[in-house]
Amino acid sequence: MVPQVFYAIIAGAGPGTGAPLARKYASVYPIALLARNPNNYTPIMDEINHAGNTAFGISTDVIDAQSVGAAFEQKEAQLLVLGRALVTAVYNVGGQLVTTPLL
């Protein structure tokens, strides 16, 4: 088991690609879920927390630098103060659910 000294971020945490990525990373690390609309991240956040892992959501517009700055200030208050460091960040914004193979 990996020590809880790291955390992960999923920007664009929604029902498409963001949800399975969030589940995967949350099984090992506390995770921050970023999305403009809380309705996009709340179901996956609740699922992760109910499973005994740690997730929290932040409403932010990741194409707006000020909004992202405010999100990172909030994240720092909740995670970095606890001595954790970023292990990975996934930028999955604005994609549409695609059902065809990538390659």
Which helix (DSSP H) or strand (DSSP E) does residue 36 occupy? none
Mean pLDDT, contiguous 10-residue spans, the chain (103 residues): 74 86 92 91 95 90 85 66 77 65 47
Q: What pLDDT is attached to residue 25?
A: 93
| Rounded-to-integer distance, Cα 45 and Cα 47, Å | 5
Give CA–CA dist 91/83, Å, rounded: 23
Residue 6: strand pairing partners: 85
Q: How far is CA 53 from CA 9, 14, 46, in A?
A: 14, 18, 10
Q: What is the structure's pLDDT at 98? A: 56
Write down the pLDDT at residue 103. 43
pLDDT of residue 28: 92
